[in-house]
Amino acid sequence: MRLPNGLLPLFYPRVRARVITPFLLAIILIAGVGVFTVTRLVAGSLQERINNQLIDSANAASSAVVDTETQMLATLRAMVFTQGVASAITASDTEQLDTLLRPLLANAALDDFNLYLPDGSGLLRLRRVARPDTPGLTYDPVPPLDVRSWSGAMRVVRPAADQLGDKFADLLTLPEGMTLFISAPVIDENHSVVGGISVGLRTSRLAEQVGAQSLSSVAFLDQDGHVIGSTFRSVDDALLVLDPADTTAILDSVVATSPTIEKTLADIPYQLLYAPLKLRSQPVGLLLVGLPTNYVVERVSVSRDLTALIFSALFVVVALVGMVVARTIVNPVSRLAETARAIMNGDMTRRVGLKLPDELGDLSQSFDHMTDELVKRNREVEQLYVIQREIAAQREAVLANIRDAVVVQNLRGEVELSNQAAQQLMNYAVHSDDEHNLQTLLAQAQSDAPPETVEMANQFFRVVAAPVRKPDGEVLGRVTVLNDITAMVQAERLKDELILQMSHELRTPLAALRGNIDLIRMLEQNSLSPRAAGFFQKSVDYLGSLERLINEVIDVSSMLAGRFELHIAPMDLVSVLQEAADEWQGRMAARELSFEISLPPGEMPIDGDCTRLREVFDHILRNACSYTLPGGEVHLQMTRDDDGFYVDVEDTGVGIYPEEIERVFERMYRGTAADAGPTDSRGMGLGLYLSKHIVELHGGTIHITSEPEVGTSVHMQFHAGCREGE
């Protein structure tokens, strides 16, 4: 099969390109594979390192929590075993208790101290405060806390020891912030519990201590997934919150640490890892450890750039070598080609004359020898003439067997040559009054004009004309080909008829389905949950959209089949517009659009199909609603003058590009605005096509003006019609 001249350079390039291109493609492939391989190796190594570091940080953080708990327990033991504490509690001597216990509290650098009686009522509380003018730690006495609602503290004074001892922990929300309290009983010399001591550390400080020891960002989450302490810099706590179900699932599945998770927090990529947060060896929440991975991306980028630079230099070197080698091959071939073209054009004196010790030199000498032999055989041209006549006869035989009608005319329009199919059409034209007879087509056919489809002799033909030129470009006439496309046209009509029948058949099950859904919702409306009712409503909405699409397909198929009809009757255009506007008012509000309606008072009588015009206005308002982003505006306005009524729909939507304005009324055309971000643009591109036909069947006009990112305006004009009796 011979390729057209326009495609020949694409599929069969010149020798220079065929020689150089493989070198370039090979180097590009090697460079790409090398950059990809090196980048993956570097990224994998760095990722493995950060995963190991994250696990080490999680272990260090867990150890830091245990160390802090151990330190708080040691402080509690020192307090409860301090001589004189039990007798001071019995005597309610708060000054003596302050003197005995404040130094221990300051040495431990804890945030809160609360001493209470066996009934849970508070006796003494010291709270750490920060004063810039006072060096060291400062504790102020504040009203003591009643611990009767603390489960851990009350177990201390009952007493209720377990296998872990007689000290218990509480995690409480105070005005100063979430605080971890550990409580221990105070026992007198009679082994009776005379009170309890609770020492507290705010979870925010605990997170800072743990983060400093683990060299990473940490956060504490309670069993509901809420953040109770965090050292993530510039990261909102809301980004770290988990659903209670997710928190429970992690607590149930994680023994030591969870798999690493990639997540972007405040535009910074992090590798995150979860571990159980335990107090007294019991999980009370989750410990979140995170490391930023910016440097991984930076290292990969640097490695990729360096590798790309190395392979680019290699590409340049090899390309230069390839071009030098190619020149030693291409230049002799080019000289051979130039000599061949000169001889082909009649210059028999040209020779290649290459003296090379390779195959190209042998080819050059052989070509020159062949040319000499050709010159010697000029006297045999007469024999070539006979051969030419035989070839001409063969061409005529081929032309006679072409099924398409082929007619060759001279510059005066006279038929010089035609095949059997064309002669049959000419005979039909002589005995027929068909307006598209062959003589008319031949006279009107223009060279290089777009193909024209005509019907003649109960057949459909695609008419193409082209000039007949001599080698020097002189035009001798034109050839006209009538390609029989009857089967294609019939198939197209059969397809349209099939679509129309299928669409009609779809209406029955669609109507039954919609009725069943409405019946179920009516019968079961009291037992349906709000979620189920929402599903039913969505189903009804989707069925409505499907019904609209099917109706559009039926209308378009009816138009193409010539069966589309209008039921013209006197009607009020204002009422139709008002009904359409009322229906779309709620939909506009649902999309957060401002919908302004300006209709004239009174009636605007015209003769038209009320149902079809309502469909037109629905199509136009649907497009305005669909292609206008939330917060935009839609304006519906109707005016009149002596020439008729004018309906304008304007929006501030995404707009239409100028090159698409002429195509928006085409069947099945959907412009680039259908992909313009978060629009609600579902459809098959039939709405404007139907609207234009319906408006024009009413004797009106419709056109669109638009500007991208500004908005679109649809303008319709209708002629006024009077009712009977007016």
Which pLDDT tens digit goes with each residue over 61-100? 888 888 898 999 999 999 999 999 999 999 999 999 999 9
Token readout for 544 is 């409505």
Round to whole Å and give the CA distance between 690 and 144.
80
Burial pattern 433-452, b for ≥16 Cβ within 10 A else e, equals eeebbbeebbeebeeeeeee
Q: Which residue type does 495 have?
A: K
Burial pattern 544-565, b for ≥16 Cβ within 10 A else e, equals eeeebbbebbbbbbebbeeebe
- What is the signed CA dihedral for 145, 148, 149, 151, rounded to 10 degrees? 110
Give the pLDDT of residue 723: 37
Tell me: pLDDT of 681 over 80. no
Tell me: pLDDT of 362 over 90. no
Q: Which residue type does 344 have?
A: M
Give the pLDDT of residue 714: 93
In terms of phi and psi (left: phi > 0; alpha: psi -120 to 50; beta: otherwise), the region of 592 is left
Model confidence at 248, in pLDDT bands (50, 70, 90)?
confident
Give the pLDDT of residue 144: 94
Higher-scoring residue by pLDDT: 25, 152: 152
Tell me: pLDDT of 664 over 60. yes
For 543-554, how does the pLDDT look when each residue is reduced to its tens digit (9 = 90+)?
666 666 666 666
Query: What integer best gives the mean pLDDT of the chain?
Result: 78
For residue 714, the cross-strand partners are 649, 704
The CA–CA distances, whole Å, from 593 to 540, 609, 654, 682 equal: 23, 30, 14, 18
With CA atoms as reference, report the closest residue to 612 among 720, 688, 691: 691
Tell me: pLDDT of 724 over 50. no
Round to whole Å and give the CA distance between 474 and 198.
111
Tell me: pLDDT of 453 over 80. no
Tell me: pLDDT of 9 over 60. no
The answer to whether the pTM exceeds 0.95 is no
Give the pLDDT of residue 132: 66
Tell me: pLDDT of 448 over 80. no
H-helix or E-strand spanning residue 250: helix 244-253
Give the pLDDT of residue 147: 93
Q: Which residue type does 600 have?
A: P
For 557-585, how does the pLDDT look when each residue is reduced to its tens digit (9 = 90+)?
666 666 677 888 899 989 999 998 998 99
Tell me: pLDDT of 713 over 80. yes
Give the pLDDT of residue 726: 33
Average pLDDT over residues 530-539: 68
217 SS3 class: strand
Where do we find the tokens 């590409």?
315
Tell me: pLDDT of 52 over 50. yes
463 SS3 class: strand
For 375-386, how does the pLDDT look when each residue is reduced to its tens digit (9 = 90+)?
777 667 667 777
Model confidence at 677, in pLDDT bands (50, 70, 90)?
very low
Pick the most confident of 1-5, 94-98, 452-456, 504-508: 94-98
Round to whole Å and give the CA distance between 277 and 283.
5
For 189-244, how does the pLDDT look when each residue is reduced to its tens digit (9 = 90+)?
888 999 999 999 999 888 888 888 888 889 988 888 888 888 888 888 888 888 88
Tell me: pLDDT of 600 over 70. yes
DSSP assignment of 493-512, as one string? HHHHHHHHHHHHHHHHHHHH
Round to whole Å and give the CA distance between 154 and 163.
17
- Look at the alpha carbons of 334, 337, 343, 346 in this order and tell me if their dihedral is positive or negative: negative
Give the start-end residues of each E strand in 103-256. Answer: 112-116, 122-129, 138-142, 168-174, 177-187, 193-202, 217-222, 227-230
ω before 159 within 30° of 0 (cis)?
A: yes
In terms of phi and psi (left: phi > 0; alpha: psi -120 to 50; beta: otherwise), the region of 528 is beta
Asked if 216 contacts 57 with a C-beta cutoff of 8 angstroms, the reply is: yes
Model confidence at 649, in pLDDT bands (50, 70, 90)?
very high
Model confidence at 651, in pLDDT bands (50, 70, 90)?
very high
Give the start-end residues of each E strand in 356-404. Answer: none
Round to whole Å and give the CA distance between 260 and 4.
59
Number of Cβ within 10 Å of residue 426's Cβ equals: 17
Give the start-end residues of each E strand in 143-267. Answer: 168-174, 177-187, 193-202, 217-222, 227-230, 261-265
Could you give the percent of the chain with pLDDT greater than 90?
16
